[in-house]
Amino acid sequence: MDRFGAKTQKILVTGAAGFIGFHLSRKLLALGHEVVGFDNINDYYDINLKLSRLQLIESTPGFRFVRGDLADREAVLALVKAERFDSVVNLAAQAGVRYSITNPYAYIDSNIQGFINILEGCRHNEVKHLVYASSSSVYGGNTLMPFSVHHNVDHPVSLYAATKKANELMAHTYSSLYGLPTTGLRFFTVYGPWGRPDMALFLFTRAILEGKPIDVFNNGKMQRDFTYVDDIVEGISRVIFSVPGPNPSWDGNCPDPGTSFAPYRIYNIGNNSPVELIRFIEVLEDCLGKQAEKNFLPLQPGDVPATCADVDDLAKDVGFRPSTSIEDGISRFIDWYRSYYHC
Ligand SMILES: NC(=O)c1ccc[n+]([C@@H]2O[C@H](COP(=O)([O-])OP(=O)(O)OC[C@H]3O[C@@H](n4cnc5c(N)ncnc54)[C@H](O)[C@@H]3O)[C@@H](O)[C@H]2O)c1
């Protein structure tokens, strides 16, 4: 039994060599679950960082790693069939908003083709719960804050966001047709130790330490609900054991986007405390003891000016709200960065 009273499970974590997948795998192993990690270790960013993460978990009893591509239909279906997982957490994806402007096909291969393979694998092999990563980017053109899962999200502004919204629609279809319980999690700008080198905190830290200028988009007025990675994995690990059922009060005359007549749920996982980019940089400068040279730029295509998560549903259903401050979170990131890169 884990600390929520749930039996230990055999869980597939896709994207296990990635930032969130690595942290989640560690947490699930610490809770006593058996984890099979799956990842193609692609070179979207430094492969050595992915290999170092894997090295840290590979020796843990209860963990096995399978290298493969989500878009490889036979490989995914064979794995899910052979292993008989209790739950599947799909985190593998082509991430990044800006990269989707220049590399659209990478998103279709991993996020659309890959996701249908996961859905098919789950529905044919009695997986009890499919949990998958969506993103705050699905809120696209929405401006009503905080962003709620009960708001309509039909106006994405990047292909990345469109693939995440498509995942939610595909999951709903499988929940409806086959009764597969699915939960989509919209993560809000995740940061922390072992983070992604393509994201602002990593890019800023490296540039500041090297004495190079940093690009500050939307002239620093961008607001982000920065969410510490431990809060994200706490949320995911609770959601795995909160298997959704149909919502009996769902009404097709007034359809709630966040629940359904089918066993389908969507949750936001965000800090519910947006911070201006310029404040985020100030905290980083304090932690590093060094000022940044700032190159102020306009909002980039595909980016949204602000995000803020309504997490009431998450709190109500799994009893958890992210709460790590950026002061604590950035300082823990810097401790890790300095020790990992010896600087
Ligand atoms: N980090 C964030 O701020 C954030 C915010 C919202 C949503 N998300 C989503 O959360 C998930 C995890 O994000 P992350 O930050 O850990 O990203 P990441 O890039 O660090 O991890 C993704 C992992 O998936 C693997 N992968 C990619 N395509 C694959 C494929 N076709 N087959 C097998 N493996 C593949 C990559 O090698 C990588 O290790 C992603 O779905 C991402 O879209 C992340």
pLDDT over 70 at 137, yes or no:
yes
User: Ligand 1, from 135, 170, 198, 229: best to mutate by most atoms within 8 Å of Cβ?
Assistant: 135
**Mean local confidence (pLDDT), 21-28:** 98
**Mean local confidence (pLDDT), 60-78:** 98
| pLDDT of the residue at 285 | 98
Which residues have a catalytic role annotated?
A: 160
Residue with token string 């749920």: 265
User: Ligand 1, from 94, 115, 187, 268: best to mutate by most atoms within 8 Å of Cβ?
Assistant: 187
Encoded tokens for 46: 């430094």
pLDDT over 60 at 155, yes or no:
yes
State the alpha helices, DSSP H only, in 17-103. Answer: 19-30, 47-58, 73-83, 99-102
**Mean local confidence (pLDDT), 202-226:** 96
pLDDT over 90 at 3, yes or no:
no
| pLDDT of the residue at 117 | 98
pTM above 0.75, yes or no: yes
Ligand 1 centroid from CA 237, angstroms:
17
Ligand 1 centroid from CA 21, angstroms:
8
**Mean local confidence (pLDDT), 154-166:** 96
233 lines ligand 1 (CB under 6 A): no
To the nearest whole number, what is the mean pLDDT of the chain? 96
12's CB contacts (< 8 A; 6+ apart) are 35, 36, 38, 79, 80, 83, 85, 87, 88, 89
Euclidean distance between CA atoms 166 and 155, whole angstroms: 12
Which atom of ligand 1 is the closest one to the Cα of 189? 3
Which atom of ligand 1 is the closest one to the Cα of 137? 6
49 lines ligand 1 (CB under 6 A): no
195 lines ligand 1 (CB under 6 A): no
Euclidean distance between CA atoms 241 and 89, whole angstroms: 12
Ligand 1 centroid from CA 320, angstroms:
23
Which atom of ligand 1 is the closest one to the Cα of 68? 33
pLDDT over 50 at 245, yes or no:
yes
| pLDDT of the residue at 7 | 82
Residue from 140, 222, 118 nearest 186 by CA:
140
| pLDDT of the residue at 122 | 98
Residue 306 and residue 222 in contact, taking contact as beta carbons nearer than 8 Å: yes
Predicted confidence band at 5 (pLDDT cuts at 50, 70, 90)? low
187 lines ligand 1 (CB under 6 A): yes
Residues 284-319: pLDDT tens digits?
999 999 999 999 999 988 888 999 999 999 999 999
**Mean local confidence (pLDDT), 194-212:** 97
15 lines ligand 1 (CB under 6 A): yes
Number of Cβ atoms within 10 Å of the Cβ of 55: 10
158 lines ligand 1 (CB under 6 A): no
**Mean local confidence (pLDDT), 184-211:** 98
Residue from 140, 123, 109, 113 nearest 304 by CA:
140
Which atom of ligand 1 is the closest one to the Cα of 136? 6
User: Ligand 1, from 36, 39, 70: best to mutate by most atoms within 8 Å of Cβ?
Assistant: 39
